[in-house]
Every structure is written in structure tokens, then in C-alpha cells.
Amino acid sequence: MSIVINHLTFAYTQGGKPLAPTLKGLTFTIEEGSFLGIIGHTGSGKSTFVKHLNGLLSCEKGTVIVDGHDLSQKSERRTVRSLVGMVFQYPEYQLFAETVYEDVAFGPRNMKLDEAEIKTRVTNAMTMVGLDPERFSTRSPFELSGGERRRAAIAGVLAMQPKYLVLDEPMAGLDPLGRKEILSLLEKLRSESGCTIIMISHSMDDIANHATKVLVLEQGSVFLYDTPQIVFSNAEELQRIGLSVPSITKICIEMNRRGVAIPTSICTEDAFLHWFREGKAHA
């Protein structure tokens, strides 16, 4: 199964009149089990696009089909929203309940699940994000650290057991340790449950290290859609639209300028070390 986007076009309105299109004929497929990184400068349409994946914005032209469910059909949106979980920027600002348990339980309770199933889901979700249920269930979410609040908010989405998890800048405002914890959580979720991850990020290093596919949006259109290795090997094209490349790729480009032949498709430290070791072995 997959998410299939066909000719998706969307324009906001002002005073009842449509503005210039924010999305222009997007067409591609998000494969089940993949980790899609979405990049693009501010205003390229990233957040507008992901809001179409569970019907927060309605398709004006084109279609978004999630596991065979067409979001242009109102009757399908409830089903899709049980499949696609959304985590917005600074999700901890959406915490509201008196206890962490009640906050995480909010979504499953709205799904009309029985209390035993709700408890199981809350316990599993809290454990997955590294919040010990025995320690944190009865605590107020407003007493937690910034990183703990972020994880509690994500647990609330995970408790609904989405098949696809969409995150809009999930590491925004976090320190390096907090960023590492969230990325490790996403990798764990994908490896253990098969959940498809769709993540908007401004960090080219994070995208290079974790994504299996990269979507580059430019002025509402698909600029590039391929593996990180292929996308980031197009450094000049990315620079032309105001984007950068991972730190390691920059080093490779500079090494080539200085006469060292090294593939500019290298975009992670592991790939660089592998190239280095292979080169030493054949020296």
C-alpha cells in the first residue's frame, strides 16, 4: 500500500478570491515503510502539502489516495485520519490535560476504544517515546522538560497507531540531545512497526542520515524526488533555489576542487568512512 499523489494543485483564498497556487500539480508516490524527507525554502509549499495527507486541507484539483482511500471523497476522510497521524511544529503547545496519561489517551478515547485498549495503547506509546508510564502517567505535562513535553505530544499521536506519521519540523527548538532522541525514536518506530515516516526538516544532515527518499519543493512544484544520494549530488541546482547540502557533501565537493576524486553523492559520515576505507584497502 502507499500514498499516491496525482496532479495535486491548491491555492489559498483572500477575500473570497483565489491567490496564486501554493501547490502546482504534484505527482509522486510515497511507498509504505519509507522515510520521506521534505525540504524546500520557506513558502515552497511543504506544510501546505502535508496538510493534504489526512484531509486538513481539501484537494481542489488532483487526488491524494491513501491505501486506496480517496481524500477527495468526504466519506473517506475519517478512515484516512486513522491511518495518518500528524505532528506539527512545537506539538507540546497542544498539551492540555491535567496528566500525561489523559493527554496521551485523548486520541484513542475519541476513537471510541474501550478503557482496557486505551490503557494498553497509552502505556505502549509512552514506553516507545521513553517516558516510563509508572513515573510520568500522573504527572502534569506542564511540569516536564521541553524534550519530555515534545515526546509526550508525539506519544499522543502514536497512541492512535497511525500507519503513516507526518512531522513538520519535529526537532525545532530542541538542543542536540533532544534532536538525537527524536530521530532515534522515529527510526525505532519505523523499524519495529513498519510505520512510514514523512518529515519536513531544514536540516540537510538529518535528512541525509535518515531519509530513504527526499522530496524537494520549489514554488509549489516538485523540483527533485529521489534518494538522498541522488538529490544531494545536485548541489549546484539546490544552491540555485536557495538550499544547501549536508556537511559531508560540502567536504566532498571541496576535496574534488582540490584534486581528490571522491563521489559527490556521498552525503553521510558512514558513506564517507566507507569510501575512505575502500580507498585505503586498494591503495
Q: What tens digit of pLDDT does each residue of 110-133 get?
A: 888 999 999 999 999 999 998 999
Write the DSSP symbol of residue 283.
Answer: -
d(CA 154, CA 112): 20
For the chain, give the number of residues. 283
Residues with Cβ within 8 Å of residue 191, at least 6 apart in sequence? none
Q: What tens digit of pLDDT does each residue of 229-247 get?
A: 999 999 999 999 999 999 9
164 pairs with which residues across the strands?
84, 196
Q: What tens digit of pLDDT does each residue of 146-200 get?
A: 888 888 999 999 999 999 999 999 888 888 888 888 899 899 889 988 899 999 9
d(CA 231, CA 214): 7
C-beta separation of 2 from 29 below 8 A: yes
Give 172-217 as a 3 state SS string: CCCCHHHHHHHHHHHHHHHHHHCCEEEEECCCHHHHHHHCCEEEEE
Alpha helices by DSSP H, listed for the chain, are 46-50, 74-83, 100-110, 115-128, 133-136, 146-158, 176-193, 204-210, 228-232, 235-240, 247-257, 269-281
**Count of C-beta atoms within a 10 Å radius of residue 219:** 16
Q: Read off the pTM.
A: 0.91
Instruction: Tell how many helices (H) and how many strands (E) occur in the chain.
Output: 12, 12
Q: What tens digit of pLDDT does each residue of 29-71 get?
A: 999 999 999 999 989 999 999 999 999 998 889 999 999 999 9
Grade residue 279 by pLDDT with cuts at 50, 70 and 90: low
Grade residue 280 by pLDDT with cuts at 50, 70 and 90: low
Please give the grid coordinates belonging to residue 7. 496532479
Domains assigned to the chain: 2-245 (3.40.50.300)
